[in-house]
C-alpha cells in the first residue's frame, strides 16, 4: 500500500491509445485530422474544425440538434465516431449556402420564422435537406413523421413544416 491507502497497480500501466489520422471532405474541402478513437463526428466538427453550427443537444441521438449530412444522408453526428467516416463527404449547416446565397431551406426558415431560440435550427435544416433528397415526403403529415427525430423545444413545428414545403417547391 502507498501512503494514501491505495494499492499500486500490478504490472505495467497501459498507455492511452494513440490518435488516429483521418481525412474527411467537409463542406467540399478536405480536412485532415488526428483524433482519439472515441471522438464523435460532432466533436470533430466542433472542436477540431471549429464548425460550431452543428449543436450538441442531448448527446444521445434523441434530439437531432447534431444532424449533418454524410454522403448525402442525414445522421446524428453525436452517435457516429469520426474514424468510422474516413473519406466521407460531410455537409454541415455552414456548407449548405453557395456563392454567398442561402440554401432554399435556410431562406425558407427565415421567411417562415421557423426558429425561435435557434438551437435546433441547424439540425432541422440539415435533416430537412436530407428529407428532400430522399424524396419520400409529399404531404405535411409525411414531413412531420420524417422529421420526428428533430426536436424543437420552442414548438415552431408549424413554421418548420411550412418552410420545408416552401423549399420543396424550389429545390
**5 has pLDDT over 70:** no
- Give the percent of the chain with pLDDT over 90: 87
Task: Please tell me the predicted confidence (pLDDT) of residue 56.
Answer: 96
| pTM, 2 dp | 0.88
Averaged pLDDT for residues 125-154? 96
For residue 62, how many other CB atoms are within 10 A of its CB?
13
Grid coordinates belonging to 154: 420552442
Q: Could you read off the pLDDT of 97-120 as tens digits, one per residue?
A: 999 999 999 999 999 999 889 999
Q: Could you read off the pLDDT of 147-171 as tens digits, one per residue?
A: 999 999 999 999 999 999 999 996 5
Residues 6+ apart with CB under 8 A from 97: 103, 106
Grid coordinates belonging to 4: 494514501
For residue 128, how many other CB atoms are within 10 A of its CB?
31
| Choice between 16 and 56, residue whose per-residue pLDDT is larger | 56
The domains located in the chain, with CATH, are: 20-95 (3.10.20.30), 104-170 (1.10.150.120)
Which of the four pLDDT bands, split at 50, 70 and 90, describes residue 12? Answer: confident
Which of the four pLDDT bands, split at 50, 70 and 90, describes residue 13? Answer: confident
**3 has pLDDT over 70:** no
Task: Please tell me the predicted confidence (pLDDT) of residue 102.
Answer: 96
Q: Could you read off the pLDDT of 24-73 as tens digits, one per residue?
A: 999 999 999 999 999 999 999 999 999 999 999 999 999 999 999 999 99
Give yes or no for a contact between 108 and 89, defined as CB atoms under 8 angstroms apart: no
Task: Please tell me the predicted confidence (pLDDT) of residue 4.
Answer: 58
Amino acid at each position: 500500500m502507498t501512503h494514501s491507502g491505495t494499492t499500486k497497480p500490478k504490472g505495467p500501466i497501459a498507455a492511452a491509445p494513440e490518435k488516429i489520422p483521418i481525412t474527411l471532405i467537409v463542406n467540399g474541402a478536405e480536412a485532415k485530422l488526428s483524433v482519439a478513437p472515441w471522438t464523435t463526428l460532432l466533436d470533430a466538427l466542433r472542436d477540431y474544425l471549429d464548425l460550431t453550427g452543428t449543436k450538441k443537444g442531448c448527446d444521445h441521438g434523441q434530439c437531432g440538434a447534431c444532424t449533418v449530412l454524410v454522403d448525402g444522408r442525414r445522421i446524428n453526428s453525436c452517435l457516429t465516431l469520426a474514424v468510422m467516416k474516413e473519406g466521407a463527404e460531410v455537409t454541415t449547416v455552414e456548407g449548405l449556402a453557395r456563392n454567398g446565397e442561402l440554401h432554399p431551406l435556410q431562406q425558407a426558415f427565415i421567411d417562415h420564422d421557423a426558429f425561435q431560440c435557434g438551437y435546433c435550427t441547424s439540425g432541422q435544416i440539415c435533416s430537412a435537406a436530407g428529407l428532400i433528397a430522399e424524396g419520400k415526403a409529399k404531404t405535411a403529415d409525411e414531413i412531420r413523421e420524417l422529421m420526428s427525430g428533430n426536436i424543437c423545444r420552442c414548438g415552431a413545428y408549424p413554421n418548420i413544416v411550412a418552410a420545408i414545403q416552401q423549399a420543396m417547391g424550389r429545390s
